[in-house]
Structure 1
Amino acid sequence: MIVSRIEAPRDEATDTLVDRLLGGLPAEAVLTDPDVTASYARDMASFCPAGAPAVVVLPRTVEQVQHVMRTATALRVPVVPQGARTGLSGAANATDGCIVLSLTKMDRILEIDPVDRIAVVEPGVVNAALSRAAGEHGLAYPPDPSSWEMCTIGGNIGTASGGLCCVKYGVTAEYVLGLDVVLADGRLLRTGRRTAKGVAGYDLTRLFVGSEGSLGIVVRAVLALKPKPPEQLVLAAEFPSASAACDAVCRIMGTQGRAASARGDGGGRRAGGHVPSLLELMDRTTLRAVNDLARMGLPETTEALLLVAFDTPDPAADLAAVGALCEAAGATQVVRADDAAESALLLQARRMSLTALEAVKGTTMIDDVCVPRSRLGDLLDGVARIAERHRLTIGVCAHAGDGNTHPTVCFDAQDPDESRRARASFDEIMALGLELGGTITGEHGVGVLKKEWLARELGPVGVEMQQAVKRAFDPLGILNPGKLF
C-alpha cells in the first residue's frame, strides 16, 4: 500500500466543527489528534488519493449518528463513513477537512430470530462474529469475504461484497431485507421489511446496497439467514494450463456436465448443472506466493489449481462426479480432502491469496473484473499476455464459479517506471473485462480507483440517472464526495 503522512490543519472552522460535534457526542468519541486522525485516512487500496480528516467520530447510537449528520449539513462539511477499512477501492478514503464517521463502535447483534430466520445488527458487527452467532442457532449467514474475520457488515453492505460461497449462496445484496439509514440531513429512513416477501414501493433497500456511503449512513440492518449446511468437503484439481481449469469450470456449471458425470460419458443433456458451495481458482503465481508466505506445500508445478466444495448430504458422491469432469478437462491430479479439517486448510490457502501476493513486492493493485463464466479462460489468457507485455508479476485468484476474478498486480511502489506499468496493466485488465461482456467490479466497489471506468461501463445516460439519484438523497453533496462519480 502507498501511504504518505497526512496531517489535518486546525483552524477556526475546525474548532467550530469540533465544538458542535461535542454538543451531542461524548469527548472520547471525537478524535482530533493529527497522528490519530491520519490513521483513519484510507482503506487498503493503492493508487487512491486520501485527504486529511478534520475530525474522526466514533458514535455508539443512532441518535449520535443523526447529530453528526445534522452538524455536517449545518456547516456544509463532507462526511466519509467507514467500517474496518478493509476495502480495496478507496471508497473509505478521507477527503480534506471531512468528518470521518467510523461505525466500528456500533457493533451489537440486536436480534437473531430462528423462526423468521433473520438477524438484526448494527453496522460495526464483524462478519465472522455474525456467522458464529448465527451458528449457535443452527443458522448461517452465507456471505463470506476473504476478510471476513475483520470486515464489518456495514462495509459489506456499502460495497455489496461477495465471498467464496457466492456460487451457491449469492452475495450480500440477496441477504439484506431492510435497513435503517440516517440521511444527509439527519433524518432516519427505514427501508424494506422483516418478512420473507414484500414488494411495496420502490426497492430502496437494494439502492443503498453497494452505494458506498454516498446516499446515507446505514445504522441497522435486517439480514436473512439460512439453515446451517453440513460441513463441506473440498476437492483440489491441478491443471496444466489456466484455460484447462476454466474448461473444467464450464463443465461443472453446465447442464451437460451434470449429465455426463452422472453417466460417465461425454455427452447428453439433463436439466440442472452441479451446484458446488465453492468453486475457486488459484494460478501458479498465486500458489507460489502462498507457499512463500505460509509454507503450505501447495503444488507449484501446476499452472492452475481448482478448489471445488460441496456441502450436500453426500458430498463425496458430488466430488467424485466433479473429479471426473476435471479429469476430462485435462486435470493432471485430483485430490479429495478426507475431512473438514483438511478442507479448511485448503480454503485457508485461498483466503490468504491476496495477502501473499502483496508480500511479493510490497504493493499490489487488485483488480475485480467479473466476466461470464464462458469467457473466464479468455480473461485469464489475456491477463497473462498483459503481464508479459508490461514485464510484471500478476497473480490471479478467482471466484471461478461466478466468473469473478482478482488479477493482482505486484510491483515496487518506489520504482516510478514499475508503478506506471502497474497502473497501465490494471487499466488494460479492466478494458479486457468489458470487451468480454463483463463488469469492472464484481464485489469490491468503485470508490476512487475505478471512477473513470464506471462512466465507460454505464454510458452517459446511465451516469446521468445515477447522479440524479445521488442529488435526491444528498443535495449538498456532503456524503462521501469524490467516490463513484
Structure 2
Amino acid sequence: MDDLVAQLSAGLPAEAILTDPDVTASYAHDMASFCAAGTPAVVVLPRTVEQVQHVMRTATALRVPVVPQGARTGLSGAANASDGCVVLSLVRMDRILEVSPVDRIAVVEPGVVNAVLSRAVGEHGLYYPPDPSSWETCTIGGNIGTASGGLCCVKYGVTAEYVLGLDVVLADGRLLSTGRRTAKGVAGYDLTRLFVGSEGSLGVVVRAVLALRPRPPRQLVLAAEFASSTAACEAVCAIMEGGHTPALLELMDRTTVRAVNELARMGLPHTTEALLLCAFDTPDPAADLAAVGALCTAAGATQVVPADDAAESELLLQARRLSLTALEAVKGTTMIDDVCVPRSRLDEMIRGTAAIAEKYALTIGVVSHAGDGNTHPTVCFDAADPEESRRARESFDEIMALGLELGGTITGEHGVGVLKKDWLARELGPVGLELQRGVKAVFDPLGILNPGKLF
C-alpha cells in the first residue's frame, strides 16, 4: 500500500489521491443490488490524460487491479471495487473540448455529465440524443462503458451509434486513438465499437468524439390507457408495423401505474392495466399523434389523451419519469432487470414477469422502452428480510431466463458487470465466451482492468 501510494504520488498531485478508508469506501460500488464490492486500496481522481497514463503504468508495474469509474449510477455492479484495487475515478476530467456545428460533433472528456453536454450543444442548435434516466448525473464515459440507452432509443438509437472515435489509455499506459471525426470511415477493424460497452475491461476512455444531430422540434406526447397489457402490446406492434417513428414509445404495467399513483396522486384510473406513452418530434406531431391514437383505439385503448402543447406533454411524461422512484417506495429496495426481447414478444415478457411475481409473492413492476423491446422488470423487496431477498434474487434469475427463452438478450443498456456475468456465459455460449476472453487477453494480458466483471 505504501509503495503503491508513493509511486502514484510521483505523477499525481496530492489532492488527486484519496486514502482515508471512510472516503474510499464511498467509491466501492455503484447502484446495483446483490453485487459484491471489495475494499479499494486507494482512489485516484486524475485531471489529465498523462495522469491516467501514470496510474496505469504504476498499476502494471505493481500488478495492481484498476477499476475505472464514472458517476457510479450503473445498475449492474460494473463500477464496483475489487479488494486492494486502484479506483480510477474520471469525474474530474469533465471538459467539453469542442463543439463543431459544421462537422456536427462534440469532443469531450469522460467526466462530462450527459445533461451538461446536451445543454451545451443545444446552444448551437444541436442535439445529443442518448438520454439515460440518470442523465442529470451520469457521465459520458460511463455511458460509453455500458453502451447506455434511454427513452429516445426507438428513434435515435443508443450510445454506440454516436461514438465516432475514442482516445483510450491501455492497461500498460499506452495511448490508443480509434475511429474518426469524419461522417464516415471504414479503415481497419472497428475498435471504437469494441470499447463501447466493454465496461472498462479493455482500456480507460479519456476522450470521445461524439456525433450530433440538428435539434428537433419540441415533441408532443400522447397517453393511451388499456385494460390489458396484451392490448397495449398489440398497439405497439401496430405502431411499428405501420411505419411510424416515434421519438419515444414507453409502456408501464399496472403495478407501475399504481405505484406512481400512490406516490404522486396523478389520478390515473385504478382500472388501468397498462399505460402507453408515445411522442413525436416531427414537423407535424399532432397529425402523427392522431394516427397513433387511432391505432391505439383500434387495439382496444379505453382512453387516448393527446397533449396540445409542451407543458401538457411534460405532465404526461412525469408518470414515466417517476416510475422507478415510485417502485422504490413500495419496499425500499429494488433490483432492476434489463431484458430486451423482440417487440413481437413484448406481451409474453410482461405477462411472464407477472406470473413470476405471483409465484414468488413479490411486487414486480415493468416499465419498457416498448419501441425497442427493452423491458425493465423491477423487483421490489425488503433488503432487511433475508427470505424476501432470496426470493427477489431467484425471481430475477427467472426473469433473465424468460428473456432468453423469448429470443432476447440479458441486457439492452445497463451492461453485465457483476450482476449478470453468469448469464452472459449462457447467452454467448462456449465459443463466444472463449473469443471474448481472447479479446480481453490481447488488450489486458495481466488481467488488471476491472477484474471479475463480464466473465
The interval holding the TM-score normalised by the smaller chain is over 0.9
Asked if 1:169 corresponds to 2:156, the answer is yes
Q: How far is the alpha carbon of 1:293 from its aligned partner?
A: 2.7
Query: Is contact 1:146-1:352 (8 Å) kept?
Result: no
For residues 192-236 of structure 1, the C-alpha deviation after alignment (integer angstroms, 9 at most, x for no partner) is 000001000000000000000000000000000000000000000
Distance of 1:438 and 1:349 partners within structure 2: 27
Asked if 1:312 corresponds to 2:282, the answer is yes
Distance of 1:240 and 1:297 partners within structure 2: 16
Q: How far is the alpha carbon of 1:284 from its aligned partner?
A: 1.5
**Percent sequence identity over aligned pairs:** 86
Structure 1 segment 282-361 matched on structure 2, within 5 A: 282-361=252-331
Distance of 1:111 and 1:299 partners within structure 2: 48
Distance of 1:217 and 1:293 partners within structure 2: 40
Q: How far is the alpha carbon of 1:352 from its aligned partner?
A: 2.7
Asked if 1:186 corresponds to 2:178, the answer is no
Report the AA paired with residue 115 of structure 2.
A
Asked if 1:418 corresponds to 2:394, the answer is no
Report the AA paired with residue 119 of structure 1.
A
Residue aligning to 1:5: none
For residues 431-473 of structure 1, the C-alpha deviation after alignment (integer angstroms, 9 at most, x for no partner) is 0000000000000000000010000000000000000000000
Asked if 1:22 corresponds to 2:5, the answer is no
Distance of 1:51 and 1:458 partners within structure 2: 27
Distance of 2:50 and 2:265 partners within structure 1: 49
Distance of 1:466 and 1:196 partners within structure 2: 29
Distance of 1:359 and 1:27 partners within structure 2: 41
Residue aligning to 2:435: 465
Report the AA paired with residue 33 of structure 1.
D
Structure 1 segment 382-397 matched on structure 2, within 5 A: 382-397=352-367
Asked if 1:381 corresponds to 2:368, the answer is no
For residues 221-277 of structure 1, the C-alpha deviation after alignment (integer angstroms, 9 at most, x for no partner) is 0000000000000000000011111110000000xxx3xxxxxxxxxxxxxx10001
Query: Is contact 1:239-1:304 (8 Å) kept?
Result: yes
Report the AA paired with residue 210 of structure 2.
L
Residue aligning to 1:235: 222
Q: How far is the alpha carbon of 1:290 from its aligned partner?
A: 2.1
Distance of 1:374 and 1:429 partners within structure 2: 17
Distance of 2:257 and 2:441 partners within structure 1: 46
Report the AA paired with residue 45 of structure 1.
A
Which among 207, 212, 227 is matched to residue 194 of structure 2?
207
Report the AA paired with residue 36 of structure 1.
V
Residue aligning to 2:20: 33
SS at match of 1:332: strand
For residues 148-198 of structure 1, the C-alpha deviation after alignment (integer angstroms, 9 at most, x for no partner) is 111100000000000000000000000000000000000000000000010
CA RMSD of superposed structures (Å): 0.8
Asked if 1:146 corresponds to 2:112, the answer is no
Distance of 2:262 and 2:57 partners within structure 1: 50
Report the AA paired with residue 454 of structure 1.
L
Distance of 1:307 and 1:396 partners within structure 2: 14
SS at match of 1:190: strand
Q: How far is the alpha carbon of 1:337 from its aligned partner?
A: 1.1
Asked if 1:119 corresponds to 2:89, the answer is no
Q: How far is the alpha carbon of 1:356 from its aligned partner?
A: 1.8
Distance of 2:316 and 2:115 partners within structure 1: 19
Residue aligning to 2:47: 60
Asked if 1:438 corresponds to 2:408, the answer is yes
Distance of 1:88 and 1:297 partners within structure 2: 30
SS at match of 1:150: coil
Indicate how the Cα distance of structure 1 residues 44 and 468 shifts in structure 2: closer, same or farther if over 3 A, else same.
same
- TM-score, reference length from structure 2: 0.99
Asked if 1:86 corresponds to 2:73, the answer is yes
Residue aligning to 1:250: 237
Report the AA paired with residue 444 of structure 1.
H
Q: How far is the alpha carbon of 1:143 from its aligned partner?
A: 0.4
Query: Is contact 1:160-1:172 (8 Å) kept?
Result: yes
Indicate how the Cα distance of structure 1 residues 74 and 372 shifts in structure 2: closer, same or farther if over 3 A, else same.
same
Q: How far is the alpha carbon of 1:300 from its aligned partner?
A: 3.4
Gapped regions of structure 2 (runs ≥ 5): none
Residue aligning to 2:417: 447
- TM-score, reference length from structure 1: 0.93
Distance of 1:103 and 1:352 partners within structure 2: 29
SS at match of 2:255: helix
Distance of 1:276 and 1:400 partners within structure 2: 11
